[in-house]
Amino acid sequence: MTAPALFQPLTLRGVTLKNRIGVSPMCMYSSEDGFATDFHLVHFGRFALGGAGLVIMEATAVDPAGRISPYDAGIWSDEHIPGLARVASFVAASGAVPGIQLGHAGRRASVREPWFAGAPLGDDAVEQGYPEGSPWVTQAPSAQPAGPEFPTPAEMTADDVRGSIEAWAAAARRAVTAGFRFIELHGAHGYLLHSFLSPLSNFRTDEFGGSVEGRRRYPLEVVRAIRAAVDDDIALSYRVSSVDGFEGGLDIDDTVDFARDLKAAGIDIIDTSSGGITTDRSMDTRVRRGYAFHADFSRAVREGADMPAATVGLITDPHQAESLLSHGDADMVLLGREMLNNPNWAHHALAALADSHEEWDIRYGSAIAPRAGTLARLAASGETPLTRFSM
C-alpha cells in the first residue's frame, strides 16, 4: 500500500528526510552567552524520538548583536560547537535529520523574552537581572526603528554589511562541523535579512538599497557565501515573510520572484511564513490568521518558482497536513506549538493515517498495543474514564 503523502521521503540536495514532518524552529530563550545546554539536548531530542523527519534547532545568532534576547542560542564562536554537536548527534541517532536556523535579529534585537511581551530592554536591564552588556546597540540597513517603542538602530556601513556576510558564512561552517545537515536562514519577521529586502525598512541609496536588485543584494550574497562555505550535499532553506502585510510592503508576487533568485543562489526549499516587518499596530495588517494560513503562499512559491516549499502555521491535525501535501499546497509541513503540546505528533499521525505504529520506538511499545486493546475492551463494555465518578 502506498504510504500517505506525509510519510513519503523527501530529498533535498544530499539530504533525505524519512517523512515530510518538520519541527519548526522555536526560540526557547534558555542559553547563556549563546551556549546550548542539557535543556537543548532533551528538548530537541524528544522531537526526534517522536518521529519527526526534520528537527530544526531554534534561531541561532551568527553575531552577538543579532540575538533576539540575551538568552538566545549562538553560533558566533567555535566554543559553541561542542554543545551544538551533542544536540545534532542525538537527533541524528534518533532517526531525524538535524537542522539549525541561523539568524540575526537586526533592529528587532535586544528585547525581553516573549513572556515579557518581547519589549525592548531598557537602560535598567542589568539592574533587573539581565546579563552585563544589556541592552546593546542594534543594527539595520537604515536608522529606522522597528516600531514606536523600539530604539533607533545603527545604520550599517558597507563594511559592516560585508563583515556580516562573512559572519553568516562562518556560522554555517560551524553548523556543519557540529553535525547539522540542514541549514535554514531566517529571512522573515522583520529580522536583518528581511529588513534589507523590504522597502518599508531599507532606505539606503548605496549598492545594498534603492532598487529591488539593491535590496536583494545582501540576502542573496549571504546565501551565496553560505553555499560556498558548506559541502554541496548540505540542504539550505530560507524562511521568508511571504507578505509584509502593510501598504507599500512586499507582496506574494515579490516573494515568488525573490524565491527564483534564491533558488539560483543555492537554496533548496523555501519556508513560507509572513509579517513582522514592523511592530506598529496602527498600520493596517493584511495577514489573516487561521488554520494553515500560509498554505496559499507555499503553493504560490512552489508553483511560481518551481521549487520545494514548506508551510507552517496552525497545522494541528494529521488529516489536515495530509491534505495540504496531497493537494499540492506544500512539499512538507512544519509544526511548532503543536509539537510543544505533543512531541509524539508524527507517531500519532502515522497511526491516524495508516493505522500503523511501525515507527514507534520499541522502548515505548507498552504505550501502544496493550493500551489500545484495553481501551477498546472498555469502550465495548460502555465504560468511560468518568464511569467510576457517576456511580
The single-letter code of the amino acid at 355 is D
Q: How many CA atoms lie within 13 A of 220 on its CB side?
A: 19
Per-residue pLDDT tens over the stretch 190-215: 999 999 999 999 999 999 999 999 99
Predicted TM-score (pTM) of the model is: 0.94
Per-residue pLDDT tens over the stretch 328-362: 999 999 999 999 999 999 999 999 999 887 777 77
Per-residue pLDDT tens over the stretch 1-51: 688 999 999 999 999 999 999 999 999 999 999 999 999 999 999 999 999
Contact call for residues 71 and 32 (beta carbons, < 8 A) = yes
Per-residue pLDDT tens over the stretch 247-306: 999 999 999 999 999 999 999 999 999 999 998 765 545 567 789 999 999 999 999 999
Residue 159's CB: how many other CB atoms inside 10 A?
8
Phi, psi of 232 (to 5 degrees): -65, -20
Question: Which string of b and e fits 318-349 if b means at least 16 CB within 10 Å?
Answer: beebbebbeeebbbbbbbbebbeeebbbbbeb
- pLDDT confidence band for 378 (50 / 70 / 90): confident
- Which CATH homologous superfamily contains domain 5-365? Aldolase class I (3.20.20.70)
Residue 143's CB: how many other CB atoms inside 10 A?
12
pLDDT at 355: 84
> What's the DSSP call for residue 35?
B
Whether residue 228 has pLDDT greater than 90: yes
Q: How many CA atoms lie within 13 A of 14 on its CB side?
A: 9
- pLDDT confidence band for 382 (50 / 70 / 90): confident
Per-residue pLDDT tens over the stretch 115-146: 999 999 999 999 999 999 999 999 999 999 99
Active site residue 71: no
Residue 180's nearest CA partner among 231, 246, 248 is 231
pLDDT at 380: 85
| 332-335 and 309-312 strand pairing | parallel
Mean local confidence (pLDDT), 47-70: 98
Torsion of CA 145, 159, 123, 80, to 10 degrees: 110
pLDDT at 165: 98
| Among 71, 130, 191, 218, the one annotated catalytic | 191
Report d(CA 347, CA 46) in Å as an integer. Answer: 12
The single-letter code of the amino acid at 246 is F
Per-residue pLDDT tens over the stretch 354-367: 988 777 777 877 77
- As beta bridge partners, residue 17 has 10
The single-letter code of the amino acid at 284 is D
Averaged confidence pLDDT in the chain: 94
pLDDT at 282: 58
pLDDT at 67: 98
Report d(CA 250, CA 254) in Å as an integer. Answer: 6
Report d(CA 230, CA 183) in Å as an integer. Answer: 10
Report d(CA 307, CA 309) in Å as an integer. Answer: 6
Phi, psi of 266 (to 5 degrees): 120, 10
Burial class (CB in 10 A: 0-12, 13-18, 19+), 315: buried
Angle between helices 252-265 and 295-304 (to 10 degrees): 50
Whether residue 385 has pLDDT greater than 80: no
Cell (9 digits) for 377: 475492551
The dihedral region occupied by 337, where left means phi > 0, alpha psi between -120 and 50, and beta the remainder, is alpha
